[in-house]
Amino acid sequence: MTPRLVALDWGTSSLRAWLLGDAGAVLAEKSAPLGILKVPNGDFAAVFRDVCGDWLAHSRPAIASGMIGSRQGWVEAPYAPCPAGFEALARGLAWATTADARLAIVPGVSCVDASGVPDVMRGEETQVFGALDAPDGTYVLPGTHSKWVTVAGGRIESFATHMTGELFAVLREHSILGRLMSVDAAHAPDAFRRGWETSLAGDDALLHRLFGTRTLGLFDQLAPVAAPSYLSGLLIGDEVRAAVRGLSESTVTVIGDPMLCDRYGEVLAGSGVTARAAPPDAARIGLWRIAVEAGLVDGGRPPELHRQA
């Protein structure tokens, strides 16, 4: 099959790259621990050449999403404001150039929440567009900075970031809560469930509930090996409780690491919401679709769904 596109998901800590053929079929794949903060001397062009060099013959088009388009990345691709559909992302592509290649960089997306506070994503928009299979829906991307994304009419209408994963890490490593935790605790399903049930059932005093991770330990009601799972349950429970409140659908699509998606699925089920898994490699699919929209490759008729925007 003829190679058509080089696609990169280039984040903070790692990158993945694909050589794609007709209709976005995967011809080859690579990954490297060379996220933008780990690129020697900030020489992004060198990493791009090293990883993708043998794929770049014949001025083949290349496209990347993720933090590579941030201020700390190669070339800044300004955020596309919500509502943002395929057209806005294609129009907003930034270009990084080397002596013998060009790389299109997908813009992030920004919005403003009900309090007038801005929010941003970069990379997740591409995953959402890769997972998209209907004009409307809610997409959840768990992680360090979880995103809840509302898609309407084929466009990202709004989204909200929750610092769930990062809060878990800093509380575990740097707060008093970590002192009663085992260093290498495996997942403890009962403690995790108790955590999210507490957050779903309780009032909204997260700052209070967090302290329970300590007091349960003090009273020998929570083992050090189970304490991280309890804290994780509390935090994911709080995120889900707040996020599902305004939800009109009974099903959401969860995108990301399968194990973490399972955890979210459990908490979502506890909130009466069904979680369905996005296809693997949503980023790759999204990159292909955006490249088609931008005319970088001929994808035949683009997906129907985004024509309804």
Interaction site with a second copy (CB under 8 A): 113-115, 117-120, 145-146, 160-164, 166-167, 170-171, 173-176, 198, 201-212, 215-216, 218-219, 221, 235, 238-239, 242-243, 245-246
Q: How far is the CB of 110 from a second copy (least distance, A)?
A: 8
Give Cβ neighbours of residue 148 (< 8 Å, ≥ 6 apart).
138, 139, 140, 159, 160, 162, 243
Q: How far is the CB of 102 from a second copy (least distance, A)?
A: 27
Q: How far is the CB of 25 from a second copy (least distance, A)?
A: 37
Q: How far is the CB of 196 from a second copy (least distance, A)?
A: 12
Coil, strand or helix at 153 = coil
Q: How far is the CB of 128 from a second copy (least distance, A)?
A: 18
Nearest residue (CB) to a second copy, 22 versus 76: 76
Nearest residue (CB) to a second copy, 52 versus 67: 67
CA distance 79 to 125: 11
CA distance 200 to 28: 44
Q: How far is the CB of 265 from a second copy (least distance, A)?
A: 19
Nearest residue (CB) to a second copy, 42 versus 246: 246
CA distance 253 to 128: 9
Report the candidate in 23, 21, 277, 299 with the shortest Cα–Cα distance to residue 133. 277
Nearest residue (CB) to a second copy, 170 versus 186: 170
CA distance 172 to 182: 10
Nearest residue (CB) to a second copy, 5 versus 243: 243
Q: For residue 279, what are the CA distances in angstroms to 9, 97, 144, 257, 285? A: 16, 31, 21, 11, 9
Tell me which long-range contacts 298-306 makes (C-beta under 8 A, separation of at least 24).
Answer: 298/4, 299/23, 299/24, 300/23, 302/86, 303/132, 305/132, 305/133, 305/134, 305/135, 305/154, 306/85, 306/86, 306/129, 306/132, 306/135, 306/154, 306/155
Q: How far is the CB of 255 from a second copy (least distance, A)?
A: 18
Q: How far is the CB of 184 from a second copy (least distance, A)?
A: 20
CA distance 33 to 136: 35
CA distance 139 to 157: 12
Nearest residue (CB) to a second copy, 118 versus 295: 118
Nearest residue (CB) to a second copy, 103 versus 167: 167
Contact 226, 212 (CB under 8 A): no
Nearest residue (CB) to a second copy, 98 versus 110: 110
